[in-house]
């Protein structure tokens, strides 16, 4: 019976996720663990480069990131959108403007993530495509710290929209052309690796949770972006 099978799902699940997924994945672990009390979880949160290092060393069962590694033979599946938006303080002079040109970002002090960050790579790629050079005023290794710095008036930045879900009180999303940068979160594991039953159970759970999240948050995002 299914119920018996559930009881049999025991063991450890080792997950490594990029920084933006920490706004989504831990929240889901509670219900997952209630469903499968026999499963213990170890969760690592690190930047894109950190994930690649862990993957090369085969340290975890599953990885969640936004750019599929190019130089590794991996299995991957997108499960949720992870768009990146331009974030400014709520009282910013461009806050009410529509269709801001991407060139206008060159006039703003910019807060940038650290080298090795996938966020930084995506921003740099878009800026390179449009020959944009921003004035990096501050480099910070954390999305949370960037949000606080923006709220403190140090500059603007580009962040995953998921980082804004918990609170959007002091911040706003600017309507800049070519944004949001479209991307997804992917579940990834090395090709040829045999996934444990525990890991496969988690994959199914995550796909289902992502579907529900999509249904629930479309409204939340529309609200936040108004
Ligand atoms: P990062 O990755 O923490 O390496 O910037 C986040 C993301 O790509 O969403």
Give the span between the Cα atoms of 75 and 104, in whole angstroms.
Answer: 39
Q: For the whole model, what pTM was predicted?
A: 0.87
pLDDT string in tens for the chain (226-residue length): 454 455 567 899 999 999 999 989 998 888 999 999 999 999 999 999 999 999 999 999 999 999 999 999 999 999 999 999 999 999 999 999 999 999 999 999 999 999 999 999 999 999 999 999 999 999 999 999 999 999 999 999 999 999 998 667 789 999 999 999 999 999 999 999 999 999 999 999 999 999 988 877 655 555 555 4
> What residue owns the CA closest to ligand 1's atom 8?
118
Q: Where are the beta strands (DSSP E) in 32-181?
A: 39-46, 62-65, 74-81, 84-89, 109-113, 135-140, 157-160, 171-174
Q: Are strands 74-81 and 135-140 parallel, antiparallel or unpaired?
A: unpaired
> What residue owns the CA closest to ligand 1's atom 2?
118
Measuring from each residue's beta carbon to the nearest atom of ligand 1, which residues come in under 6 Å? 18-20, 47-48, 66, 82, 113, 117-119, 160
The β-bridge partners of 39 are 11
Give the span between the Cα atoms of 169 and 152, in whole angstroms.
Answer: 13
């Amino acid at each position: 019976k299914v119920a018996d099978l559930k009881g049999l799902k025991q063991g450890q699940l080792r997950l490594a996720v990029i920084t933006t997924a920490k706004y989504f994945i831990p929240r889901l672990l509670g219900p997952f663990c209630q469903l499968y009390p026999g499963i213990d979880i170890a969760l690592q949160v690190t930047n894109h480069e950190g994930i690649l290092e862990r993957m090369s060393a085969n340290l975890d069962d599953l990885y969640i990131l936004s750019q599929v590694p190019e130089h590794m033979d991996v299995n991957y599946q997108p499960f949720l959108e992870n768009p990146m938006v331009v974030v400014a303080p709520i009282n910013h002079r461009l806050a009410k403007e529509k269709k801001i040109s991407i060139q206008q970002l060159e006039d703003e002090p910019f807060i940038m993530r650290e080298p090795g960050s996938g966020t930084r790579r995506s921003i740099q790629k878009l800026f390179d495509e449009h020959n944009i050079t921003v004035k990096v005023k501050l480099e910070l290794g954390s999305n949370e710290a960037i949000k606080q710095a923006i709220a403190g008036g140090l500059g603007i930045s580009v962040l995953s929209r998921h980082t804004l879900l918990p609170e959007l009180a002091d911040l706003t999303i600017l309507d800049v052309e070519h944004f949001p940068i479209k991307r997804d979160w992917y579940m990834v594991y090395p090709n040829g690796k045999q996934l444990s039953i525990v890991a496969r159970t988690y994959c199914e759970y995550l796909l289902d949770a992502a579907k529900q999240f999509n249904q629930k948050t479309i409204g939340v995002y529309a609200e936040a972006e108004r």
